[in-house]
Amino acid sequence: MFKSGNVTVMVADMKKAVKFYTETLGLELQHGDGHFAQIAAPGLTIGLLHLAGEQGSLPEKSGSMSIGFEVADMESAIETLKTSGVPFHDSVEGKAANVVHFNDPEGNTLYLVCNR
């Protein structure tokens, strides 16, 4: 039924958001036109949207959305992102997976997950 999936993240600073998702996280910018950017992640497309002017203002952050990235080696992934200045918080070690959370420059929650 579904061909693919995507998530759209509202951002206040498009340049900062694109830099974080491409340079810091190492994802690929597929398209960008000033108020919208499309980022390719393995198995996911991330849309970055800046609402401005006649389109309206940015919505309040609800905290109900997060983006997860599966990794094979949690320690290596954390060290790689830490060298780019990413701070981590809320690490959870479960029976099925380990999860560690971090935020993008807009405060949106992202996480790394390493399945057991």
CA angle 22, 52, 5 (to 5 degrees): 45
- Does residue 59 belong to any structural domain of this protein? no
Q: What's the pLDDT at 18?
A: 94
Consecutive sets of 10 residues in the chain, 116 residues long: mean pLDDT of each? 74 91 96 87 89 51 74 94 94 87 91 88
- Does residue 58 belong to any structural domain of this protein? no
Full residue range of the structural domain in which residue 38 is found: 6-53+65-115
What global pTM score does this model have? 0.76
Q: What's the pLDDT at 94?
A: 81
- Does residue 104 belong to any structural domain of this protein? yes
Number of domains in the chain: 1
- Does residue 1 belong to any structural domain of this protein? no
Question: How far is it, in rounded angstroms, from Cα 7 to Cα 105?
Answer: 17
Q: What's the pLDDT at 87?
A: 96
Structure tokens that stand for 112 in this block: 């790394």
CATH number at residue 95: 3.10.180.10
